[in-house]
């Protein structure tokens, strides 16, 4: 069994890949990092990627893994309308991985951090049974943060981009659903290399009052449920309005199960007074925006489709997608 590199050797290798910024007064190498304080409110988030739970090494490259570990955190900052600034990383390493693996992992992570303007202020390395990358990320808000608890009856519900692609990509990687060619490539890429919607989130947060918003990490239905619960409202969603990619339709046809329940898309869902058209919102945010339904006073979520009777989703147990 290959032994992982020693902690100090690894830290030295890793630091070579990582960006710094002026806000970091003292970076990696001391007991703590020192960060200059700022007048804006701070956003703080943390997320882990665990081998066997969130990824398998054979699915992609170490560089993709490093970039995704940051992207899932960037997405939480995007959901608040924030600007990501500084992170710290905890890396749990297991035997069997050689130093080049970590070089590649941190090259991917470092490149993603540079692209997002994030400095890596420090971190920790520990030994464990599973490879785990945990990142705590700080961000700042320019004006008002977008929260989950501000949806109001009469708001329209919008999503950016398309939904269900990453969940389908995961099932393709797991050999549960067959796919080939460019549709396969697109869906698998959506799972392995997600993009956090930082710029659209910042633009959304400038709307007054700021929309209620969440990023779609657990699946559209469940994440919408979090907004409804926190806001004390209900929703009516039109299933035929869920935005599907051409690749999704090609591989999965008209089945909307994964568009509703599949996670890992890292698109934004937001609720807004219906004052701005979809076309105008898309233009302003620089991404495609689709209206999927509206917020209602009655505290339950209805899924309706042009034909057939509506399915009612209970307002308890949002995490279980069950029609009653
Ligand atoms: Mg989130």
β-bridge partners, 127 = 93
List the one residue out of 151, 192, 149 whose CA is nearest residue 169.
192
In this prediction, residue 320 carries a pLDDT of 38
In this prediction, residue 8 carries a pLDDT of 67
Contacts of 30 (CB under 8 A, 6+ apart): 122
Task: Give 79 Cα–ligand 1 centroid separation in angstroms.
Answer: 7
Task: Give 18 Cα–ligand 1 centroid separation in angstroms.
Answer: 25
In this prediction, residue 27 carries a pLDDT of 84
Cβ count within 10 A of residue 262: 25
In this prediction, residue 316 carries a pLDDT of 36
Rounded CA-CA distance 128/135 in Å is 16
Rounded CA-CA distance 154/132 in Å is 43
List the one residue out of 292, 281, 157 whose CA is nearest residue 213.
157
In this prediction, residue 1 carries a pLDDT of 54
Task: Give 23 Cα–ligand 1 centroid separation in angstroms.
Answer: 25
Task: Give 130 Cα–ligand 1 centroid separation in angstroms.
Answer: 24
Task: Give 219 Cα–ligand 1 centroid separation in angstroms.
Answer: 11
Query: Which residue ranges in the chain fall short of pLDDT 50?
Result: 314-324
Rounded CA-CA distance 95/275 in Å is 56
């Amino acid at each position: 069994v290959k032994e992982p590199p020693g902690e100090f050797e690894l830290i030295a290798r890793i630091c070579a890949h990582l960006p710094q910024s002026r806000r970091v007064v003292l970076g990696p190498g001391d007991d703590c990092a020192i960060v200059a304080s700022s007048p804006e409110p701070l956003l703080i988030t943390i997320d882990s990627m665990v081998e066997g739970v969130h990824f398998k090494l054979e699915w992609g490259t170490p560089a993709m893994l490093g970039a995704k570990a940051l992207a899932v955190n960037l997405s939480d900052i995007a959901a608040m309308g924030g600007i990501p600034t500084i992170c710290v990383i905890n890396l749990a390493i297991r035997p069997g991985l050689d130093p080049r693996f970590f070089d590649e992992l941190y090259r991917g992570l470092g490149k993603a951090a540079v692209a997002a303007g994030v400095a890596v202020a420090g971190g920790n390395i520990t030994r464990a049974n599973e490879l785990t990358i945990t990142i705590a990320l700080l961000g700042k808000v320019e004006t008002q943060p977008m929260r989950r608890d501000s949806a109001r009856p009469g708001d329209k519900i919008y999503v950016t981009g398309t939904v269900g692609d990453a969940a389908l990509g995961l099932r393709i990687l797991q050999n549960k659903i067959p796919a080939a060619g460019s549709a396969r490539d697109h869906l698998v890429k959506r799972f392995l290399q997600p993009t956090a919607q930082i710029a659209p989130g910042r633009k959304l947060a400038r709307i007054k009052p700021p929309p209620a918003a969440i990023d779609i990490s657990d699946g559209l239905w469940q994440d919408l449920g979090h907004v409804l619960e926190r806001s004390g409202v209900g929703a009516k969603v039109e299933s035929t309005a869920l935005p599907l990619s051409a690749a999704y339709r090609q591989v999965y046809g008209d089945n909307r199960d994964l568009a509703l329940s599949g996670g890992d898309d890292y698109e934004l869902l937001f609720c807004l007074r219906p004052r701005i058209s979809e076309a105008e919102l898309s233009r302003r945010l620089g991404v495609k925006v689709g209206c999927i339904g509206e917020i209602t006073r009655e505290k339950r979520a209805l899924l309706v489709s042009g034909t057939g009777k509506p399915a009612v989703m209970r307002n308890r147990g949002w995490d279980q997608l069950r029609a009653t």
